[in-house]
A = this chain, B = another copy of it.
Amino acid sequence: MEKKMKRMATMHRLQVTGLELFYQQGYYNTSIDDILGKLSLSKGAFYYHFQSKDDFFISIIQNLVVQKVYGTLVQPIEGKEDPFTAIAQCFEVSLETAEHNELDRGFVLSNFMAEFKGKNPEIMEYFKDVLKVWEVNLISSLQKGKSDGYVDRHVDSSAVATYLISSYIGIRALMVEGNCRTLRYKYMMQLRHYFKMLANKETA
């Protein structure tokens, strides 16, 4: 019993630190020794738990990245009545968090996707899946918003979702070059304008 716990604990520590460094420095630019050094662990420990660096990274995606994206961008919107208010609020929180995080390097998914594209199609698939979950949830949130009278009937939910995801990925990328506060302000302002346009005018 205790054994299994220890195994899990070490694996988890490795994964957390691994994601931290992969995110900050990039996957290919982070060595396994970098991670091990930070945890005072040895090669033996690493290869006892994981088959390879790639295998290790895939476990990180499945265990940490998925939950991170879901908890940040999906859950905060789920179940809310007005999708526009919910999405705007969710984005605002996320951008504020990034703004106050000195070590922010942009949106995890898009960074990794840029790094792995054309190099590791298998890993790319995992990222696509995570993106898809986000997209699907945005769409269904918007569709529900139509039924509930918040979203104009003529709105193309799928296209709006794409546009939202694009702009979010972009603003996160822009924010890594500093000036976060201003950027966030400008972005949120235009986002809310855009939403106002898509809102159901009859109810409003």
User: With a CB–CB cut-off of 8 A, which chain B residues contact A158?
Assistant: 186
User: With a CB–CB cut-off of 8 A, which chain B residues contact A117?
Assistant: 105-106, 176-177
The residue from B160, B173, B189 contacting A113, defined by CB atoms under 8 A apart: B173
* A159 lies within 8 A of B111 (CB): no
**Interface membership of A73, Cβ < 8 A:** no
* A131 lies within 8 A of B177 (CB): yes
The residue from B119, B128, B163, B178 contacting A187, defined by CB atoms under 8 A apart: B163
User: With a CB–CB cut-off of 8 A, which chain B residues contact A25?
Assistant: 118-119
* Stretch from A10-18, A37-45, A53-61, A164-172 forming part of the interface with B: A164-172
Complex CA distance for A170 and B113, rounded to whole angstroms: 12
Complex CA distance for A131 and B176, rounded to whole angstroms: 13
The residue from B26, B114, B128, B171 contacting A166, defined by CB atoms under 8 A apart: B171
* A156 lies within 8 A of B186 (CB): yes
Shortest C-beta distance, A138 to chain B (Å), equals 12
User: With a CB–CB cut-off of 8 A, which chain B residues contact A165?
Assistant: 170, 174
Complex CA distance for A124 and B173, rounded to whole angstroms: 13
Report if A173-B174 is in contact (Cβ < 8 Å); known contacts: A28-B26, A115-B26, A118-B25.
no
User: With a CB–CB cut-off of 8 A, which chain B residues contact A173?
Assistant: 110, 113-114, 166, 169-170, 173
Shortest C-beta distance, A57 to chain B (Å), equals 15
Q: A113-B173, A117-B176, A162-B187 are in contact. List 8 more A-B contacts (CB 8 A).
A: A26-B115, A106-B114, A110-B170, A113-B176, A114-B173, A159-B189, A163-B187, A170-B171
6 A-B contacts (beta carbon < 8 Å): A25-B119, A113-B177, A128-B178, A131-B177, A158-B186, A160-B190
